[in-house]
Amino acid sequence: MDNPSKITEGGVEYSLGKFDGKSVLYDFDKILIYLDAKGKLLFGKQFRIYDEDTVIIRKLCHYFINDEENCLKDDIDPDKGILLSGPVGCGKTTLMKLLRYIVPMQRPYEMIPCRNVAFSFNHLGFKTIEEYGNTKFFCFDDLGVEPAGRFYGKDLNVMGEVLLSRYELYLQTKKKIKTHATTNLNAEELEERYGNRVRSRMRELFNLIAFDKRARDKRK
């Protein structure tokens, strides 16, 4: 049987904790070492884990490894997805791309830029809503700054419709379908963009994990 506490990257074996034959006892410091190494492989040598982000990363790790006790402390519901919010350039997309690798046995999610969903709607119409309202796991990147959809003269708030579809699916599948998203917008701005109905569904779909408003832009 594979040992899920060990992951090999580039010929180097990383341990994320101890495996007792049934479950992994994760070690956060070891996870950080692995994430730093994997981040450099994925995003280049300039990638690093910032000390000021470890609180957020720890919460995300608790969620992904399904640490029920710490999720409860963090007020995180393991059935819901993650809505990771924070200012431009603070590293939201990078973290969501990276963290799925610490749980290779779990079903992965696809990262989809929201603007791609809007553009797809402009070409294909409502087929797009069906396509993203399916049983795949997605992380919608940059929610709230995508252009409005327009198909045959009909305007549509495409991501709003996709989120409503994902919500219906989430209920139908007894909360087994995961939807994640990243956004630069705060709660008021999201409500302004998508309306009250979508915003209330978002509360039921997502755990909100937010960077500090003053988090620095790592791209500079």
pLDDT digits (tens, 9 = 90+) for 176-214: 899 999 999 988 899 999 999 999 999 999 999 998 887
- What is the distance between the alpha carbons of residues 38 and 27, in angstroms, rounded to a whole number? 16
Q: How many CB atoms are located within 10 Å of the residue 214 CB? A: 9
Angle at 72 between CA 205 and CA 162, to 5 degrees: 10
- What is the distance between the alpha carbons of residues 87 and 102, in angstroms, rounded to a whole number? 25
- What is the distance between the alpha carbons of residues 136 and 63, in angstroms, rounded to a whole number? 19
For residue 11, the one-letter residue type is: G
The per-residue pLDDT for range 115-163, each reduced to its tens digit, is 999 999 888 888 898 889 888 899 999 999 898 877 776 777 899 999 9
- Over residues 13-22, mean pLDDT: 88
Cβ contact 66:77 at 8 Å: no
pTM to 2 decimal places = 0.92
DSSP sequence for 132-178: HTSSS-EEEEEET-SPPEEETTEEE-HHHHHHHHHHHHHHHTTT---
- Provide, for the chain, the percentages of residues in helix, strand and coil under a 3-state DSSP scheme, each rounded to the nearest 5: 45, 20, 35
CATH number of the domain at 77-210, out of 3.40.1160.10, 3.40.50.720, 3.40.50.300, 3.30.200.20? 3.40.50.300
Tokens 């797009």 belong to: 128
